[in-house]
Amino acid sequence: MTTPNPETIKLVKDYPRPSPVFTVARVPNTNRCYFGSADFQVSEADLKAEKFEPTPLYSHGSYVTSLVLAGTRLVSGGYDGKLIWWETASRQQIRTVDAHSRWIRKVVASPDGRTIASVADDMIARIWDTETGKLVHELKGHAAKTPHHFSSMLYVAAYSPDGHFLATGDKIGQIIIWDTRTGQEVSRLEAPVMYTWDKVQRLHSIGGIRSLAFSPDGRLLAVGGIGKVGNIDHLDGKARIEVFDWQAKSRLIEYESDAYKGLVNQLAFAPDGSWLAAAGGGTLGFFIFLDVAKKKLLKEDKAPMHVHGYTMTADGREFVMVGYQKIAWYRLEG
- Domain spans of the chain, in order of start: 6-332
Beta sheet of 154-159, edge-to-edge order: 154-159, 165-170, 174-179, 185-190
Q: State if pTM tops 0.95.
A: yes
- Residue 320, classed as helix, strand or coil, is strand
Q: Can you give the pLDDT at residue 131?
A: 97
| 6-332 CATH pick, 3.40.50.720, 3.30.870.10, 1.20.1090.10, 2.130.10.10 | 2.130.10.10
- Residue 113, classed as helix, strand or coil, is coil
Neighbours of 289 (CB within 10 A): 20
Neighbours of 250 (CB within 10 A): 10
Contact assessment for residue 307 and residue 266, using Cβ atoms and an 8 Å cutoff: yes
Contact assessment for residue 262 and residue 282, using Cβ atoms and an 8 Å cutoff: yes
Query: Computed over its alpha carbons, how large is the radius of gyration of the chain?
Result: 18
Instruction: Let me know if 90 is exposed, middle or buried by CB neighbors in 10 A (0-12, 13-18, 19+).
Output: exposed
Q: What are phi and psi of 47, to 5 degrees?
A: -65, -25
Mean pLDDT by 10 residues, the chain (334 residues): 91 96 97 98 96 96 98 97 97 97 98 98 98 98 92 97 98 98 98 87 79 98 94 82 98 97 97 98 95 97 97 97 97 88
Neighbours of 202 (CB within 10 A): 12
Q: Distance (Å, rounded) from C-alpha 175 to C-alpha 103? A: 19
Contact assessment for residue 327 and residue 321, using Cβ atoms and an 8 Å cutoff: yes
Q: Can you give the pLDDT at residue 201?
A: 64
Contact assessment for residue 116 and residue 159, using Cβ atoms and an 8 Å cutoff: no
